Structure 1
Amino acid sequence: MLKRLLLISALCLTGGAAFAQGANVAFGSVQQDSSLPIEVSADNLSVNQSDGTALYTGNVVIGQGEMRLAAPRVLVVYAEGAGQIDRLEATGGVTLVSGEEAAEADRADYNLQDNVVVMIGNVLLTQGGNALSSDRMTVYLKDGTAQMDGRVRSIIQPSSNTEEGEGQ
């Protein structure tokens, strides 16, 4: 949490930061295959047969291919009559990791039919040394891209043209 606060503070205070109302960014080192199995681990599980949901609580970690989603609470909603997962609703502080990139938000909704993850509230995306924050980020898993909306703030680390020790 401290790391997140420091990054957000740096985003707000950096004079060289880029500011925009929306931004398209890459997300994930590979395209996500939503046909891969979903593995869920958690401290607790409650199944509600009447409304077709399953509630995982406590240290929930969901894995699918290269993607990992972690949250304190995840509601799994099944498609009516199909027995297949329609969507996942993660709340309580969510971390989504794909390859070398990670995003944090207050909540995330993963629609498995559309292969889209929508992260809402205090979104922070880190890509190597770069960081972006916004109110909302929509991740399109099929093509490995994302759209950030709301007040977008960016810190972009300049790349070094010389390696340490060269030219001395």
Structure 2
Amino acid sequence: MKVFTAAALVLALGIGSAFAQGASVAFGGLQHDASLPVEITADELTVDQATGSAVFSGNVVAGQGEMRLSAARVQVEYATQNGQATGQINQLVATGGVTLVNGAEAAEAQRAVYAVGSGEIVMTGDVVLTQGVNALSGEKLTVDLNTGSGRMEGRVRTIFQTGGNN
């Protein structure tokens, strides 16, 4: 009976599709103002003026408002105009133990690309998202920080806590 009740709850909440190849999920805690300044700390910084990029390595933490992105390495790619870097960040490419935290939601992956202008983050490689006591995993997570909506793809698996007794 408890198995039937849990299955009925999953279907009633409309989350049965989370077991398929792709699932749309609400990421209210990841809604965020992408126009805020980005602050980055790291053990080391290497700048390449020719390519218009900077590479932060070693215990990197990039913060923007309440959102924190940590990784072993973050490459900052600057926007260009007429072949010259504008000084505005185009995107952050994070690799090596990537963790994204905002509020009660956290996501982990092997790689993340944050397009600052559009407010989109794409995390790939063994992605795990936790929302409170619930967890969701897959191969690719795309989050729109402006709307707080997202999509998990690639053999999605989820665990929802029902709050019931065993």
TM-score (norm 1): 0.82
Structure 1 residue aligned with 2:94: 90
Q: How does 1:138-153 map to 2 (within 5 A)?
A: 138-153=142-157
Structure 1 residue aligned with 2:66: 66
CA distance in 2, matches of 1:59, 1:31: 25
CA distance in 2, matches of 1:23, 1:106: 20
Please list every run of at least 4 consecutive aligned residues from structure 1 whose deviation after the TM superposition is greater than 4 angstroms: none
* Secondary structure, counterpart of 1:79 in structure 2: strand
Residues 59 and 142 of structure 1, relative CA distance in 2, 3 Å threshold:
same
Aligned-residue CA RMSD (Å): 1.4
Deviations 1:84-138 (A, max 9, x none): 1000000012000011000000000000121100000000001111110000000
Structure 1 residue aligned with 2:116: 112
Unaligned stretches of 5+ residues in structure 1: 1-17, 162-168
CA distance in 2, matches of 1:21, 1:76: 31
TM-score (norm 2): 0.83
CA distance in 2, matches of 1:19, 1:50: 46
- What is the aligned length? 144
Matched letter for residue 40 of structure 1: I
Q: How does 1:25-104 map to 2 (within 5 A)?
A: 25-29=25-29, 31-80=31-80, 81=84, 82-104=86-108
Structure 2 residue aligned with 1:9: none
CA distance in 2, matches of 1:98, 1:46: 27
